[in-house]
Each structure stands twice: as structure tokens, then as C-alpha cells.
Structure 1
Amino acid sequence: MAPQTMKQTLISVVVPVYNVHSFLTKCVDSILIQSYKNLEIILVDDGSTDGSAEECDALQKKDDRIKVVHKQNGGLASARNAGINIAHGEYIGFIDSDDWIEPDMYESLLNTIFETKCRLAVCRMQYVYDNGNVKTRSKLDAAAPASTIFNFDQAITEMNSYRLFDMSACTKLFDISLFDNIRFPDGKLSEDFFVMPFLFELAKHIAFIDQPFYNYFQRVNSISKSKKINFDFEEAAKQQMDFLDAKYPELKVVGHAAYASSVLTVYNQFVENHMYCDSNTLKHFKTAVRENKKYIHDADFWSVMKKSQFTIFLASSWLYRISIRLYHTLRKA
């Protein structure tokens, strides 16, 4: 049998949909106009009540590549899993329904997979704010090749540094066999963080494209901006730390530093939402940072500014709150 060509390769794109009526068409249109045409687009309506469910059905009539699943509300992880379960593609990607992608994203990712023989490829993300500002992640050196291959150790370090990419599933294209025994954890936030270390381990090598193909829309009322404190992020970081300690002791610094960082990420939600953090929770956060000070110091993938956040936090939570609010104000400016 002749080997399959790139153009014969089907990509499944899973789009969880929940009450995003104002954003859904832009998202889906950005998939429909992809330069790579052999797509299966799976819209998973997760119990929407704002007309998004009906919009999914209308979009399905627009293009026969679109499939629609209607299900009871179960959260983002549950919706993604429903899409994985019916996907027919050799490769699979995920798009959040209030975001959009650049026209050549999937062609570039798949081409890189074919060229590098990797099972997973990732691109950069850019943040698009309500006020029109756009921020992108760091770039590789200008002299770097168009694509770079990271082994597991390098990829897990890069993911936890947040320099070029992070744990988001949306910037990645996966060989669907990577999901044979993996699903996103139902009922959890930070669902990507729970699974990405294991997907990276299975993939062994990850191809990176230094282009911002994914547009992550920062809106006030998104899930990540809700008043609910996401303690699941710390849980996912703890799971990663235990996993790396057990199987990859040479990555102990990465796992422990990332765990310490996760508690600051959770505390930052209290700060940004002007919510009270009780003394026991604050003590837990400070203990987690203090117990991992050595690993924070040894984390050469972090800048001096990043490390200084931990020092300020331990010295004065009041001063830390002021610095975080100032940082976020300047970042959005």
C-alpha cells in the first residue's frame, strides 16, 4: 500500500461551545477558511442556553465538513472528550469557541509533523485584548530555523517557562493515537495542564513553529475571568511535580519550581478579583513557596524578575498584591 500523503490526511478540529453566540461564527469561519481543506470540524454544544446550540446547527448546513454534537452541560473537558470520542481524523486539534486561528495554522502544523516525523506540533499564541491590543509570546532567535524539535526534557521545561508556548491544547496538533488512553479530566479547570505532561511523554519529540497562529481573545466574562478561584491549577502542578519526581528526577527543578509558581498563580486570582484570601490558605501558599526556594533559585529558565516575585511574596503579601495589580495594568496598556 502506498504511504499516505499529507493532502489525504484528515484533521479533526474539536470546538467546545457554551454560550458564545457573539463569538462562534468568527471562530468557525477561521477554521473553514483554512488553507488545509481536509478537515472534520466537530462543534460540541455543551448545553448552551443563549442560542449557540441553534447557531451550531445553522453552521452545519453551511459546510458538510461540520458535525454537531448536543450534550448536557459538563464543562470544557467533557465537551472536548465528546469530540475526541467521535473524531475520525489521523490528527486532532482543539479551538476554544471565543478564539480564532490564522488561515495557514493547520497546514503549517501538519507540514511540520510530516517533515520532522514528530507526533505533536505546536505554534505560538498571541493574546488579543478587548481594547484591541495584541501581545505575543517570545520569539526564538532571528537566526533560528522555521521549526525546532524539542525532546521531552526540553519541551516540558519550555512549557513550564511560558516563553514560547505553554500547556494549552489549542496551539497544538496531535497524532490522535496519543489520546488512545488519555482524556481531559471531567469537572476540572486547567484541564490541559492535567494531561499535557503525559502527552509530551508519549510524543517523545515536539516540533515547534515560531509563528503566532492562534489568537487567544481576552474577554472580561470568559471562564478564566470568573470569580471562582481555580485551585485545580495547583492540583495539576502537584500532579506534574510528583510525576517528574518519580520518572524523571533530572527534571526535579522544573517540577518543583512550577509547583511553587502554581500557588502564586492561584493567589493572583484572589488579588486580581479583589477577593479575600483567608489566613490558612495564604499560609499554605507561603509554605509551598518556602519549601521550594532552592528549586526556584536553580530554575535557570526563569528571569530574575520572575524569581523576584517569590521573594516579594514571602516578604510581604501586601506589597506583592500592589506589584501584581501594577503589572497587569501595565500589561494591558
Structure 2
Amino acid sequence: MAEKIVSVIIPVYNIREYVGDCIKSALNQTYKDIEIILVDDGATDGSGAICDEYAKEDPRVKVIHKENGGLMSAWSTGVKEAEGRYALFIDGDDWIDERMVEELLKYASPDRDFKEIVSSNYIIEKKNEKRKEAHGAAPGVYEGEKLAELRTRLLGEERRPVIMSRCMKLISRQLILDNLRYLEYSIRMAEDVNIMLPCLLDADRLTILEDCYFYHYRTIGDSMSHGFNRKLLDNIKLDYDTFLGIMQDKAVANGKEQMDREYVRLLFVVMKNALRASDENVVKLVKDIFGQGDIAELVKTTPVSVSEKSNQLIYYGMKHPVTPVIIMIKMILSAFDKVTAG
């Protein structure tokens, strides 16, 4: 097979209802000279068989069947098997516009040794809502000093300058291969940061397109937690150690400062999860986490900016984990959940 410029990599696991739309969106690209790698991560609902049917119909499609290993294992397997100069990821329940590959390639370097990332924006697709999401940084080309400045604030910001999803982007495949050694397969929160952080720190150039909402992110089901997930804290600590290690290895001068702020922001998720718990002594739970020890000290000594009113309330509770404050915030959060659910 002649060398392909773009390898479209689609992890597939138990998404029978949606995977056909995803694959079709890749097959229907106006730029045709691509390879499409479907990684069946041990699906048990027939999704893998659907992948095989598409492979029979189009020679550009290759299917890899593997034991279940999680999302990170699936997409990294696809990268290793791919042949394209660039990787473009689509999660199997999402889809892309038909001109996405063609439009992103217009901004790619002709130099095959050049390591770069070209990114569009995306649309969140809910059952009754569509919402556009864009990078925090202004559209444009980032290289040299401009890219170096961006690297000082990749993490720890209220609105990240670069959306850290591996999707919606053309990424030089060699850039990914060079950084697979940083993958921590136990991570279950902020997984994509694990690969996008080192890639952004190594890239020769980052291009952020204006508008270009080519990627459609489908949200499925009720993600609201009704019990405290005790693994959250362990996973956030694993994120911290893993990402800080990457920052230090890449000699990011303010890496620890970024990661301390990022840790505090990730703790917002823990606080919300604890306050929504219906099967716990919530007051005791919040006090145990935020009332003393390393977490309390970090929240106290690492201020972060918060503009969203709901998060301001959560942040106040993290900084003042006393009984009346916890009860008040839980009541407000419960009322908000009832309104939005109805």
C-alpha cells in the first residue's frame, strides 16, 4: 500500500448503536487517500463484527481485534499499527464533518520530519442541546517564543489554552510514538492529557484553526454520580505524579506551579462528587478530604481563579469545609440538579 498521509484511528468498545455513523463519517471524507484503523477493544455487543463488515466493503479500512484493555490501550495500539504521517482520532460514538481531513491538511507542513499539531474545535452533541467549544488560546500559528509562552500555562488554567483531547486534531504520528513511553495505563481521569501534554511540549508547531467546528462529541446517558467514588482521589494523585513527571522530564520551568493549580482544579470534581453522594455522611466525608492534611494545605496555599458562579460556591466549600457551609452547598447543588434533570 502506498504511504498514506493520514491514519484515522477509531477505538471501538460496546457502541453498536453509534459506531456505524462514526465509521461512515471517516469513509465519507472529501479527502479520500486515508487509512482507517478500527480497534475493537474486546467489544461484546457485536461492534467488532460491524467493523469487519466495513473492512470488507472498503480496502482503506483495517480492523484490529484485541482483548479489552481500555481506551488508552486501544488508541495506542492503533497508532503503532498505523502507517500515516498524521494520526486523527475519533472516538467510536462521535463523528466528524466530511471536510475535516481536507481542511486540516491545508495547514500541515510538507516536511515529513516536521512534528506538529493542527487542531479544529468541536461541538458537544446532547440529546436536546448543541454547544460549541473552542480553545482558550486565540486561533493562529504557535511556534518559537509564542509556543514557549503557551507551554507555561497548558495546565492549571480555568479555561485551558489548548483543549487537551487527542481528538479533533491532526497530530504527527511520530510525535505520538516518541511519547508513548509516558503513558500510565491506570489513569481513568484526564487520560488524554497523558499523551497530549508531552506532544505539545515536543511539537515544532501548533496551529489552532478559527471556527472550524468539525468534531462532534456525543454525550450519552446520565453522568451524574449518586455515590462517592473513592478511587477519584487516587486517580487525581496519579494524574499529578504522572503529569508532573512529564513536565520535569521536558524541563518546564514552572511545571510544579502548573500542576499544583491543576490538582486544585481536579479537586473540584472530588468536591462535587462528595456533595452529591446519597449514601454517605456527606459532612464527615468533605471534612475528611478537605479539612486537614496535604489537600487542605494545597487548597489553602495554591489560589486559582474561578469565574463560574457554581464553581465559586464549590471552591468556597473546599476552602471552608465546616458543617453549615457544607450543608448549605449540598442543598443548593441538590436543587440545581433537580432543575437541570427536569
TM bin (shorter chain) = 0.7 to 0.9
Residue 317 of structure 2 is aligned to residue 312 of structure 1: yes
Residue 263 of structure 2 is aligned to residue 256 of structure 1: no
Contact 2:38 2:62 in 1 (8 A): yes
Q: Percent identity?
A: 24
CA 1:234 to 1:271, structure 2 compared with 1: closer, same or farther past 3 Å? farther
SS in 1 for 2:17: coil
Question: Structure 1 stretches of 5 or more lacking a match?
Answer: 1-7
Q: Deviations over 1:183-238 (max 9, x none)?
A: 2432431321222221111115321113322111111168x989765442442144
Structure 2 counterparts to residues 18-57 of structure 1, below 5 A: 18-57=13-52
Contact 1:140 1:210 in 2 (8 A): no
CA 1:243 to 1:296, structure 2 compared with 1: closer, same or farther past 3 Å? farther
CA 1:327 to 1:99, structure 2 compared with 1: closer, same or farther past 3 Å? farther
Deviation, structure 1 residue 23: 0.4
Q: Which amino acid aligns with 1:205?
A: R
In structure 1, C-alpha distance between the alignment counterparts of 2:44 and 2:20, rounded to whole Å: 16
Q: Which amino acid aligns with 2:153?
A: T
Residue 5 of structure 2 is aligned to residue 10 of structure 1: yes
CA RMSD of aligned residues (A): 3.4
Q: Which amino acid aligns with 1:195?
A: I
Q: Deviations over 1:266-296 (max 9, x none)?
A: 3334445646487567534555264244542
Contact 1:13 1:42 in 2 (8 A): yes
1:3 match = none
SS in 2 for 1:213: strand
Residue 229 of structure 2 is aligned to residue 236 of structure 1: no
Structure 2 counterparts to residues 1-333 of structure 1, below 5 A: 10-114=5-109, 119-130=116-127, 132-138=128-134, 147-149=140-142, 151-154=147-150, 157=153, 160-161=156-157, 162=159, 165-183=162-180, 184-190=183-189, 191-211=191-211, 212-220=213-221, 230=232, 231-241=234-244, 243-244=246-247, 247-250=251-254, 252-271=256-275, 274=278, 276=280, 279=284, 283-285=288-290, 287-288=294-295, 290-297=297-304, 299=305, 303=307, 305=309, 306=311, 309-315=314-320, 316-324=325-333
TM-score for both structures, normalised by structure 2:
0.78
Q: Which amino acid aligns with 1:189?
A: R
SS in 2 for 1:92: strand
Higher Cα Rg, which structure: 2
Q: Deviations over 1:43-84 (max 9, x none)?
A: 011111111111110111222111000111111111111101
CA 1:30 to 1:206, structure 2 compared with 1: closer, same or farther past 3 Å? same
What is the aligned length?
318
In structure 1, C-alpha distance between the alignment counterparts of 2:133 and 2:153, rounded to whole Å: 16
Choose 69-78 or 105-114, whichever is displaced more: 105-114
In structure 2, C-alpha distance between the alignment counterparts of 1:50 and 1:241, rounded to whole Å: 38
TM-score for both structures, normalised by structure 1:
0.80
In structure 1, C-alpha distance between the alignment counterparts of 2:338 and 2:9, rounded to whole Å: 34
Q: Which amino acid aligns with 1:314?
A: K
Deviation, structure 1 residue 107: 2.1
In structure 1, C-alpha distance between the alignment counterparts of 2:64 and 2:226, rounded to whole Å: 26
Deviation, structure 1 residue 169: 0.7
CA 1:308 to 1:242, structure 2 compared with 1: closer, same or farther past 3 Å? farther
